[in-house]
A and B are shown apart, each in its own frame.
Chain A
Amino acid sequence: MAPTSKSFSSSSSSRKSTLTSSSSRSTSSSTSKSKSASSAPTRKMSNMSSFQPTLNFKPSPSPSTSTSTSTRKDEEDRKLMPPPPPGTKPKPLVSPPKSTNGKGKSREVIVVDDDEDEDQGLGSNGLTNDKAQMWTDLYAPTTEAELAPGKARIAKVKNWLHESLFGYPFDVPPPPGNVNRDKLRKYKRILFLSGPAGVGKTTTMRLLCQSLGVEIMEWGESVEERSLGGGIDRESSISKFSSFISRHSYPSLSMSSQHTSSQSSATKPRLILLTSLPNLSHIPTREAFHSSLLTFCQTFTSLSCPMVIIHSDAGSGGRAEESWMERDRGGREGSLEVLGREVRDGPWCQEIDFLPLAPTFLNKALLRVMQIAIPKAVDRPSQATVQLIALSSNGDLRSAINSLQLVCGGRKDASKGKKRKSRGDDEEEDGPKKRGSGKGSRGGKGAKLDVSKDLRAVLDAVTRKEQSLNLFHALGKVFYNKRLDDPNMDDEDEEVLERIRKLPPEKPLPDHLQEFSRRKSLVQIESFIPTIPIDASSFALWIHQSFLNYCNEIEEVSAGLDELCSADVMRTDDDIWQSSTQAISYALHLTVRGTLMSLPSPVPRRSQKVVKPQFFESFRLERDNTSALDHVAGYITRKGVAAGNAFADGGPSDVVGVWGGTVNKRVLAGELVPMMVKIQGLSGHPLLPPSAQSLCLPPYSTFSFRSNTELTVKDEPDAEDEYEATAAGDDGLGNVASQSQEWDEDMQDKDKEEDWLMEDDIDDWD
């Protein structure tokens, strides 16, 4: 009981503080005008568009005297006016900011519960309220130190925010007041955050904004506005968007009387946050979106606010192959598609890429959540469980927390079941059935021994994506190619052996095929296939990657690869074929059976390793390099046009002549870019645009043995959240390869420095 009430009391204080703001919004129109200074402009903003204030997990960081007085007044108001009953929700005149609405509503309900608790002294309601929310919402990080992504990345985002809002980097003392800060701000217009889902992009952004005291204005696709006439607004969403961001430079309208407008809230910096984008696969919409972004970048006044675009893209590591085939069908746009070339290559835009979280980071974050969520250490799942969750979530913190909640849900329930018993059966729902089944499935302390097995099963069922352990088993079954009467069969399950011995004898092969006769395999294909945890094509990739290590002779390799080839052809011929499940099962049968047939029997044990397919890495590399090349092409074209114009105008004499223009891709990738990289490396002067700095020359060694990532149970990105970049792969571009990430990092830092030091240079840009 004690810990429950503790957590409850701590959370209730924060809730009260948020309640004050929300209730002030709902009551301000009726009570007094003057005290709603802070909320009035935001309401106006919400009239124009959706608006989202910073998440209030803790009291507002900018204490001003007026808010404290208004808080006190609100407290009084709240005492005078009973809180709205849970059923009713305040009905604002204008379309409410949706997200706040949802949150605010629940908050009010919660406060009602709080009052009841105080009256009845019943502490369990806090718990039920906790239960009503997802942990991902409930235990979102509240300080910068708690954010899961890497420190460097957060610092980068923070720096950008600071520069774009105040005109100088975060960790530098502010320049003297008379310096024009807009010079730098002008070029910090759009920040593009990309990365797989659930790594904390949005959370980071919100938290940083909160700590910097920035108001977030959010444009959500899902917001529909009803015009005053009552009908649905027929304006297309993209034109609404355009007009929304074209208003970026207006100061927030002050609805309050004169004397409040000078307060800090009026000059609070603002920021536009885009999390859901318009339908970009629709070409006209995309073009309109690009052009409105461009306008946004080009029109800058000192009152303009920057924009942050958050885009979840396809994760790179270990995803199913089918998902990369889907990339054309939407939802997989890269920054080029989202931003458009002008904006992306222009000086206004910076991209920051978030990577999947490393298991250590996940572990830390999960432990934090768990410590808040479950105050009693006894109730917490074991360290190993948390690690297992962290490992199986593939760098996605949100799904990891979801899994954790799911796992803890059962456990918490078990301990609570006992409590309920003592309290009597006033709850109708959890009758004897509940307690009975509770014992069966979890059974309190007695079940502690088999908890790990239990949990593993749970996690297998619950967590998504490839489950490394199952995959490992499945691959092992294929690669070790165990057959009946192998030597060293002692460790095999006798039951399985017996069952296989009992199978009816096969008809012997005719004489000319004798070389292909094998002893009976221990892999029973029909029962084996459903245990493969990933899709057929990814499984084939894994097999393909490590097959070589398990063979003795080149003939075996050749035969096996033949089978893999035909499996591939069957799978990916065309659309009709691809969509047929029959095709996939042909391919799977061919993959598994073919491998089993061509592997030697018994497979020699040389402590071979199962290796992660390089496909994913190469594919990512190819995508990156292609887009970098696109950038270079655009850059060169622009340079060429600019130089051509200058030449035509009889410009300065140091422009020697027209250069650049359109080059075809092969020349670009094979001649131009390598040369530019070379010159750049020799001269130390950047020739390529910053977005293409990742391009580099391949190493001179003829064949470099790459360090392959071995599949172990911790088959996840390295501890530092950077992937080790590899040399040029089979990316079809041959001589373009990605550089090691550190270099890249350096380069970007250097760029930033230049931005900062040579800001006057940039002015020449337009």
Chain B
Amino acid sequence: MASSSSTAQGKEAVSAIAKHTDAEGYEMPWVEKYRPVLLDDIVGNTETVERLKVIAEDGNVPHIIISGMPGIGKTTSIHCLAHALLGDAYKEGVLELNASDERGIDVVRNKIKSFAQRKVTLPSGRHKIIILDEADSMTAGAQQALRRTMEIYSNTTRFALACNMSNKIIEPIQSRCAILRYSKLRDAEVLKRLKEICEMEQVKYNDQGLAALIFTAEGDMRQAINNLQSTFSGFGFVSQDNVFKICDQPHPIVIRQMIKDCQNGSVDDALARINDLWDQGYSAVDIVVSVFRVTKGMEELQEYMKLEFIREIGWTHMRILEGVGTLVQLGAMVARLCKLSLPPQALKI
């Protein structure tokens, strides 16, 4: 009882907020506004989603686990699947529990079970669905308790689990589920969706701006859309500079220049650029992460150089994470990168 009303309340709350904010002249997050409702609208992972469609038509859902990185549509897929399966009965037939909900052994024992026992009128051959989002954050004990529940109620209730790491789910549950792996979204897929949203929201943009959004999001659709919205509401125009201002990341152009300097062995120029970034207030982690991202995408870097660069950056990253996130570390990294391309006899004393 409480369970369904909570989702219902959630929905109402969302719509209430939407109304409220509309009155104030604000709008709801685009991520929610443009969250797909149909399986057809889901971006990326075409083969897996295709399979979900077949399941949705067939009606006999197995228990499923969808695993993958954040922001690639796991939860959305499950919701779409539930909508496709249950139609109007969605509200009664779905129990959603998030990591933010309490999900200890007690909840598994009581809430999930009472939902599983409840009788809901559904289209024939359909099942109630229990969605456990971020299931990898459930304790092993709770998962153990879930195991039996899954088996006992499997003829009325199906479980859909979303998680980032499928190996955090205990083996017995993995065995009971079909595991669908979602891979990272391709840049083209993110781009297409961003363009659609820009179209619908009448956002002005240039191509570099969208490219910057994709660069910063790294395959995370949610982040891309959020950044798009922030950039738009902040500046009204999506250009590269605006995006990097919003995302507050070191400008990749600068970093690219810096790496090129390193490749040429010009230590002073490279150091100057790092100092600039540092003075702008970026933390060492920010800088080193961007350096890595730019480095691995740089095509003019020889294979060997790239390998050596990545290793040096990795070591530096490690040191920084261990607590020495100082300018000196970054300087040392730059110096080591430069040293690679300098002839060894030049360094002899």
Any B CB within 8 A of the CB of A494: no
Q: Which of the 9-residue segments B2-10, B17-25, B241-249, B304-312 touches chain A?
A: B304-312
The answer to whether A580 and B321 touch across the interface, beta carbons within 8 angstroms, is yes
B-facing mask of A526-555, CB < 8 A → 1, else 0? 100010000100000000000000000000
Any A CB within 8 A of the CB of B282: no
Any A CB within 8 A of the CB of B62: yes
Q: How far is the CA of A437 from the CA of B58 in the complex (A)?
A: 12
Any A CB within 8 A of the CB of B143: yes
The answer to whether A133 and B155 touch across the interface, beta carbons within 8 angstroms, is yes
Interface residues of B in 53-86 (CB under 8 A from A): 53-55, 57-60, 62-63, 69
CB-CB under 8 A from A222, the residues of chain B are 108-109, 113, 145, 148-149
Any A CB within 8 A of the CB of B47: yes
The answer to whether B296 and A589 touch across the interface, beta carbons within 8 angstroms, is yes
Q: How far is the CA of A510 from the CA of B48 in the complex (A)?
A: 47
User: CB within 8 A of A586: which of B63, B149, B292?
Assistant: B292
Any B CB within 8 A of the CB of A476: no
Any A CB within 8 A of the CB of B325: no
Q: Which residue of B lies closest to A133 (CB)?
A: B155
The answer to whether A221 and B175 touch across the interface, beta carbons within 8 angstroms, is no
The answer to whether A326 and B155 touch across the interface, beta carbons within 8 angstroms, is no
Q: Which residue of A lies closest to B298 (CB)?
A: A506
Q: How far is the CA of A98 from the CA of B157 in the complex (A)?
A: 14
Q: How far is the CA of A220 from the CA of B307 in the complex (A)?
A: 54
Q: How far is the CA of A4 from the CA of B322 in the complex (A)?
A: 66
Q: How far is the CB of B124 from chain A (nearest CB, A)?
A: 5
Q: How far is the CA of A570 from the CA of B305 in the complex (A)?
A: 19
The answer to whether B124 and A128 touch across the interface, beta carbons within 8 angstroms, is yes
Interface residues of A in 79-95 (CB under 8 A from B): 86-89
CB-CB under 8 A from B176, the residues of chain A are 136, 197-198, 398-399, 402
User: CB within 8 A of B307: which of A464, A503, A585, A597?
Assistant: A597
Any B CB within 8 A of the CB of A441: yes
Q: How far is the CA of A508 from the CA of B330 in the complex (A)?
A: 26
CB-CB under 8 A from A198, the residues of chain B are 172, 175-176
The answer to whether A312 and B177 touch across the interface, beta carbons within 8 angstroms, is no
CB-CB under 8 A from B32, the residues of chain A are none
The answer to whether B302 and A506 touch across the interface, beta carbons within 8 angstroms, is yes
Q: How far is the CB of A566 from chain B (nearest CB, A)?
A: 6
The answer to whether A106 and B155 touch across the interface, beta carbons within 8 angstroms, is yes
CB-CB under 8 A from B181, the residues of chain A are 461
Interface residues of B in 8-40 (CB under 8 A from A): none
User: CB within 8 A of B54: which of A410, A509, A589?
Assistant: A410
Q: Which residue of B lies closest to A581 (CB)?
A: B69
The answer to whether A102 and B153 touch across the interface, beta carbons within 8 angstroms, is yes
Q: How far is the CB of A404 from chain B (nearest CB, A)?
A: 10
The answer to whether B127 and A518 touch across the interface, beta carbons within 8 angstroms, is no
CB-CB under 8 A from A518, the residues of chain B are 302-304
CB-CB under 8 A from A447, the residues of chain B are none
**Interface-central residue, A312, A396, A566, by most chain B CB under 10 Å:** A312
The answer to whether A516 and B167 touch across the interface, beta carbons within 8 angstroms, is no
Q: Which residue of B lies closest to A587 (CB)?
A: B314
CB-CB under 8 A from B317, the residues of chain A are 582-583, 586
CB-CB under 8 A from A89, the residues of chain B are 119
Q: How far is the CB of B102 from chain A (nearest CB, A)?
A: 16
The answer to whether B175 and A509 touch across the interface, beta carbons within 8 angstroms, is no
Q: Which residue of B lies closest to A275 (CB)?
A: B148
Interface residues of A in 388-421 (CB under 8 A from B): 396, 398-399, 402-403, 405-406, 409-410, 412-413
Q: Which residue of B lies closest to A598 (CB)?
A: B307
The answer to whether B123 and A224 touch across the interface, beta carbons within 8 angstroms, is no
Given known A326-B168, A462-B178, A507-B301, contact A413–B314 (CB-CB < 8 A) = no
Given known A131-B125, A133-B154, A396-B175, contact A430–B57 (CB-CB < 8 A) = yes
Interface residues of B in 293-342 (CB under 8 A from A): 296-297, 299-307, 310-311, 313-315, 317-318, 321, 340-342
CB-CB under 8 A from B153, the residues of chain A are 102
The answer to whether A589 and B155 touch across the interface, beta carbons within 8 angstroms, is no
**Interface-central residue, B117, B183, B304, by most chain A CB under 10 Å:** B304
CB-CB under 8 A from B303, the residues of chain A are 506, 518, 520-521, 593, 596-597
Q: How far is the CB of A202 from chain B (nearest CB, A)?
A: 9
Interface residues of B in 222-250 (CB under 8 A from A): none
Q: How far is the CA of A596 from the CA of B304 in the complex (A)?
A: 10
Q: Which residue of B lies closest to A525 (CB)?
A: B296
The answer to whether B60 and A137 touch across the interface, beta carbons within 8 angstroms, is no
Given known A410-B54, A582-B292, A586-B314, contact A281–B299 (CB-CB < 8 A) = no
CB-CB under 8 A from B99, the residues of chain A are none
Contact size range, B: 35 or more
Q: How far is the CB of A615 from chain B (nearest CB, A)?
A: 16
The answer to whether B310 and A409 touch across the interface, beta carbons within 8 angstroms, is no
Any B CB within 8 A of the CB of A323: yes
Q: How far is the CB of A58 from chain B (nearest CB, A)?
A: 19
Q: How far is the CA of A98 from the CA of B317 in the complex (A)?
A: 53
Q: How far is the CB of B85 from chain A (nearest CB, A)?
A: 10
The answer to whether B144 and A132 touch across the interface, beta carbons within 8 angstroms, is no
The answer to whether B180 and A462 touch across the interface, beta carbons within 8 angstroms, is yes
**Using a Cβ–Cβ cut-off of 8 Å, how many residues does chain A contribute to the interface with B?**
106
CB-CB under 8 A from B165, the residues of chain A are 322
The answer to whether B59 and A131 touch across the interface, beta carbons within 8 angstroms, is yes
The answer to whether A506 and B154 touch across the interface, beta carbons within 8 angstroms, is no
B-facing mask of A496-511, CB < 8 A → 1, else 0? 0000000111111111
CB-CB under 8 A from A326, the residues of chain B are 167-168
CB-CB under 8 A from A281, the residues of chain B are 140-141
Any A CB within 8 A of the CB of B199: no
Q: How far is the CB of A664 from chain B (nearest CB, A)?
A: 32
Q: Which residue of B lies closest to A50 (CB)?
A: B148
The answer to whether A461 and B155 touch across the interface, beta carbons within 8 angstroms, is no
Given known A102-B155, A461-B48, A577-B318, contact A224–B109 (CB-CB < 8 A) = yes
B-facing mask of A331-342, CB < 8 A → 1, else 0? 100000000000
User: CB within 8 A of A137: which of B50, B145, B154?
Assistant: B154
Q: How far is the CA of A331 from the CA of B305 in the complex (A)?
A: 44
Interface residues of A in 272-306 (CB under 8 A from B): 275-277, 279, 281
Given known A504-B300, A577-B318, contact A402–B62 (CB-CB < 8 A) = yes
CB-CB under 8 A from B166, the residues of chain A are 464
Any A CB within 8 A of the CB of B98: no
The answer to whether B152 and A590 touch across the interface, beta carbons within 8 angstroms, is no
**Interface-central residue, A221, A412, A520, by most chain B CB under 10 Å:** A221
The answer to whether B58 and A410 touch across the interface, beta carbons within 8 angstroms, is yes
The answer to whether A314 and B171 touch across the interface, beta carbons within 8 angstroms, is yes
CB-CB under 8 A from B57, the residues of chain A are 413, 430, 434, 437-438
The answer to whether A507 and B300 touch across the interface, beta carbons within 8 angstroms, is yes
CB-CB under 8 A from B318, the residues of chain A are 570, 573, 577, 583
Any B CB within 8 A of the CB of A359: no
The answer to whether A331 and B140 touch across the interface, beta carbons within 8 angstroms, is yes
Q: How far is the CB of B269 from chain A (nearest CB, A)?
A: 16
Any A CB within 8 A of the CB of B283: no
Q: Which residue of A lies closest to B106 (CB)?
A: A224
Q: Which residue of B lies closest to A461 (CB)?
A: B48
CB-CB under 8 A from A457, the residues of chain B are 47
CB-CB under 8 A from A98, the residues of chain B are 113, 152
User: CB within 8 A of B172: which of A106, A197, A441, A503?
Assistant: A197
- 11 extra interface residue pairs, beta carbon distance < 8 Å, beyond A137-B151, A402-B176: A131-B60, A134-B62, A312-B171, A406-B55, A409-B55, A409-B58, A457-B47, A458-B47, A458-B51, A507-B301, A513-B305
Q: Can you name 13 A-B pairs with beta carbons within 8 Å?
A: A131-B58, A133-B155, A197-B176, A222-B108, A222-B148, A406-B51, A409-B58, A434-B57, A506-B300, A506-B303, A573-B318, A585-B292, A593-B303
Question: What are the nearest 7 A-B pairs in CB distance?
Answer: A330-B140, A197-B175, A198-B175, A464-B179, A516-B304, A586-B314, A331-B140
Chain B residues in the interface with A (C-beta under 8 A): 47-48, 50-51, 53-55, 57-60, 62-63, 69, 105, 108-110, 113, 117, 119, 121, 123-125, 127, 139-141, 143-145, 147-149, 151-156, 165-168, 170-172, 174-181, 183-184, 263, 265, 289, 292, 296-297, 299-307, 310-311, 313-315, 317-318, 321, 340-344
